Structure 1
Amino acid sequence: MAVGLLYRIFVSVLSWLALLARSQASKNAEILVLRQEVSVLRRTNPKSRISWTARAVLAALSKLLPKTLRGHRIVTPGTLLRWHRRLVANKWRQPKAPGRPPISDGLVQLIVTMAQENRTWGAVRIQGELRRLGHRVAAATIRKVLRARRIPPPKHRDDSWRTFLRTQADTLLATDFFHIDCAVTLARVYVAFVIEYSTRRVHLLGITRYPTAAWAIQLARDFTADLETTGRRFTHLVRDRDAKFTAAFDAVLSAAGITAVTTMPQTPKMNAIAERFVGTVRRDCTDRILVAGERHLRVILNGYIAHYNAGRSHQGAGMSLRAPDDDPNVIPFPAQIDQIRRKRILGGLINEYEPAA
């Protein structure tokens, strides 16, 4: 640094000696040219970077100018004060404290593999899968890994509306229908399901091409009988205003101690949990398979719902990032990275990850 400063001073002195031998007219002409160059430089590059040696020479030469001209130079008094403050700040700047230890290369590769094999998974979903394998990694760290590998995030999904019975989520159910069009016959098949609010566990009630009110009533009878057999108790069931949900349907639920809560007209967000499951099963499964018929659809949904209940982490389940069948009181021991195996569901359409046996 000192050598660079001495070199610039030496060059400046030589330039000053050369000026002594020149005529006044030549000097005036050069001043006009230099002023024009400075004017162009200020317009085209208002925030030019100057080395510290050049700053030192400019600061010394500016002392030779009259006070009325010092404010019109590139190096103004304000600039000199700013340089001084920067030097003081750099002198007293403390080194940054070390952050969290970096994750292992094997865990980084596992994150990248999960993201590449499952294009619809975001950072929070991958975080849930890693947590089920015993590895606790922050979602921000996962996003950083994916950005470094230039893996784009999945499409943004709108947040679901929170229901009015949050405090009763442990005893709350929701039900709805959705339909699938068969690939060959184009026949429309209807699916009825119930989902538990607290755990996101899904129960497949029935599949038919001809949904009627009587069919829905029979599904309610079968479902309440299953609840009685297992000894589980629920108090409310959220449903929309579909014509298949009649007073007799509500009476069957009432006999089992379940009160039907009807949503307002054309307000699907009041049944957001059920609506979200419909979107999830379409994105993950039915939109990616050509369904041959009712029997084929039953096999597909049975396989998917088994995965949904036992092998898929859920962000919405109290942000616990676990599957409905996972024990919330058990923290899995971290699995060895090289011992994690992929389990293909529905012929590889869906992937689960688990420690090797």
Structure 2
Amino acid sequence: MLVRFAYLAVSQAFAAMRLLPMGGREKDVEILALRHQLTVLRRQLGGERPRFRPEDRVFLAALLSGLPRQALRRIRLLVSPDTVLRWHRDLIKRRHARASARRRPGRPRTVVSIRRLVLRLARENPSWGYRRIHGELALLGLRVAPSTVWEILRTEGIDPAPERSSVTWPDFLRSQAEAIMAMDFIETVTLTGKRQYILAAIHHASRRIRIVGTTAHPTHAWVAQAVRNLLMDLEDAGQLATVRFLIRDRDAKYPALMDQILQSSGIATVLTGVQVPRMNAVMERWARTLRAELLDRTLVWNEAHLRRVLLVYERDYNQHRPHRSLAGAAPLRAIPARLEPHQVERLDIRRRDRLGGVLHEYRHAA
């Protein structure tokens, strides 16, 4: 239709240019001739109404809309003046409809980064309602209406005004990580078929591992003495004052005396549920790492050999092995400063093998 309208407009423009050299009498004669031809055309049509194409309607509406109604009635048209005015109103209405369709209705959507931040604050702070989250955004210099925060939370299925006073087990572990240690037994078998038991403890916050001891017969007296040794080690490291909880399972190897020894140092024993290893997930994850990186790749001859390899692995784990929970640092070694560009160009990395190549440590050459 656009092409037809353009053709019609151009042809009528050339027709108008043809009238420029004509005089007033010639124009009046042509107008009378055109009116007479319209009369003849109406007689031929009889009772049928003339049909106008869309481009014809657009052209006539644009051409005649500026004339007053009396002037339209003086002009002999195939349609009434009201029809021409209606065509013009429809043309303007369609133009406004296309313009409004290009504009998004309502308020603009909130920036994606702000939506993600609102959901992050709600996820990391379960007890915060939409008003508390709105206040935190204001402190960060983000101007967002409280109703917007409400709508973001409601859209994601999060209660905007929660009564989430209960604390989940993972939330408790994260909030109390500095005060929590975990303990567990790991079993392994030597080449002679003798079963060995490894008692280990891990600090949740620092992820530092301590091999408390190894034995083929974990008696109650042996376990009680191993716990005393652990407490002395914590005191020497200056951590005894901060540790307040020790998580362990309900294994019968742990004597009642063990809990009394811990209680005397201000440490409460937290027992995991029956067949719920996730309550001691940090310790269970370390046991899996120990098997994958050491026990499954080393032939253990006897108990003395097991103690030696565990001592090397403990030192490597605490002083060299990076940890995702520590952003790549080791429990007893912080992340070094970033190298300068000229240092990166002259890298000289040396490898040091531990336990016959089971463990590899990489360091800069001296």
Return the match for 1:331 from 327, 332, 337. Answer: 337
Matched, 1:224 2:260: no
Q: Which amino acid aligns with 1:192?
A: L
Amino acid at match of 2:270: V
Q: 1: CA distance between counterparts of 2:312 and 2:330?
A: 15
1:177 to 166, 185, 189: 185
The residue aligned with 2:244 is 235
Structure 2 residue aligned with 1:189? 196
Q: Secondary structure at the match of 1:164?
A: helix
Deviation string for 1:200-255 (max 9, x for gaps)? 11111111000112211111111112222332231111101011223211110111
What stretches of structure 1 of length at least 5 have no aligned partner? 1-160
Q: Which amino acid in the other structure matches residue 324 of structure 1?
A: P
- From 307, 311, 327, give the equivalent of 2:316: 307
Q: Which amino acid aligns with 2:245?
A: H
| Aligned residue type for 2:255 | T
What is the aligned partner in structure 2 of residue 215 from structure 1? 222
Q: Kindly state the Cα deviation for residue 172 of structure 1 after the two structures are TM-superposed.
A: 1.0
Give the SS at the match of 1:316: helix
- Cα distance change, pair 219–332 in 1 and its aligned pair in 2 (3 A): farther
- Do the aligned partners of 1:339 and 1:355 also contact (CA within 8 Å) in 2? yes
Shift of 1:174: 0.4
Query: Matched residues in 1 for 2:334 and 2:321: separation?
Result: 13
1:321 to 310, 325, 328: 328
| 3-state SS of 2:172 partner | coil
Give distance in 2, aligned partners of 1:327 and 1:197: 17
- Taking structure 1 as reference, are residues 229 and 338 closer, same or farther at Cα in structure 2, changes over 3 Å only? closer
Q: Decide whether the 8 Å contact of 1:241 with 1:262 is kept in 2.
A: yes
Matches within 5 A, 1:34-53: none
2:338 and 2:265 map into 1 onto residues whose CA distance is 37
Structure 1 position 351 matched with structure 2 position 360: yes
| Alpha-carbon distance in 1 for matches of 2:244, 2:320 | 27
In structure 2, the CA distance between the partners of 1:332 and 1:346, relative to structure 1 (3 Å rule), is: farther
Cα 1:295–1:332, aligned 2, differ >3 Å: closer, same or farther? farther
1:291-302 matches, cutoff 5 A: 291-302=300-311
**Which has the greater radius of gyration?**
2
Query: Which residue identity is paired with 1:293?
Result: N
Residue type of the partner of 2:278? K
CA distance in 1, matches of 2:338, 2:264: 41
Q: Distance in 2 between matches of 1:243 and 1:178?
A: 14
Considering Cα pairs closer than 8 Å and 6+ residues apart, tell me whether 1 or 2 has the greater RCO: 1
Q: Does 1:199 align with 2:191?
A: no
SS in 2 for 1:331: coil
- 1:255-274 alignment to 2 at 5 Å? 255-274=264-283
List per-residue Cα deviations over 1:78-122 (Å, max 9, x = no partner). Answer: xxxxxxxxxxxxxxxxxxxxxxxxxxxxxxxxxxxxxxxxxxxxx
Partner SS, residue 179 of structure 1:
strand
One-letter code of the match for 1:277? Answer: W
Contact 1:163 1:271 in 2 (8 A): no
**Residue identity opposite 1:210 in structure 2:** H
Q: For the residues of structure 1 that align with 2:286 and 2:171, how far apart are their CA atoms?
A: 15
Q: Report deviation, 1:350.
A: 1.3
Match of 2:257 in 1: 248
Please say if residues 173 and 237 of structure 1, whose CA atoms lie closer than 8 Å, have aligned partners that are also in contact: yes
Alignment partner of 2:304: what SS? Answer: helix
Q: How far apart are the structure 2 equivalents of 1:236 and 1:293?
A: 33
Instruction: Measure the CA separation in 1 of the matches of 2:255 and 2:197.
Output: 18
One-letter amino acid of the structure 2 residue matched with residue 327 of structure 1: A
Deviation at 1:164, TM superposition (A): 3.2
Report the Cα distance in structure 2 between the residues aligned to 1:230 and 1:316, rounded to whole angstroms.
21
Shift of 1:163: 6.3
For the residues of structure 1 that align with 2:250 and 2:352, how far apart are their CA atoms? 40
CA contact (8 A) 1:300 1:346 kept: yes
**Secondary structure, in 3 states, of the residue corresponding to 1:276?**
helix
Query: Aligned-pair distance for 1:332?
Result: 4.4
Question: How far is 1:264 from its partner?
Answer: 0.4
Amino acid at match of 1:340: I
Q: How many residues end up aligned between the 2 structures?
A: 193
Q: 1:346 to 1:332 in 2, by over 3 A?
A: farther
Identity of aligned residues (%): 39
Distance 1:323 1:182 in 2: 30
Q: After superposition, give the CA deviation of every residue in 1:259-287 in whole Å (9 maximum; x if it has no partner).
A: 11110011111101111111001100110
Aligned-partner SS, 1:165: helix
The offset of 1:326, in angstroms, is: 1.4
**Quick one: distance in 2 between partners of 1:274 and 1:258?**
18
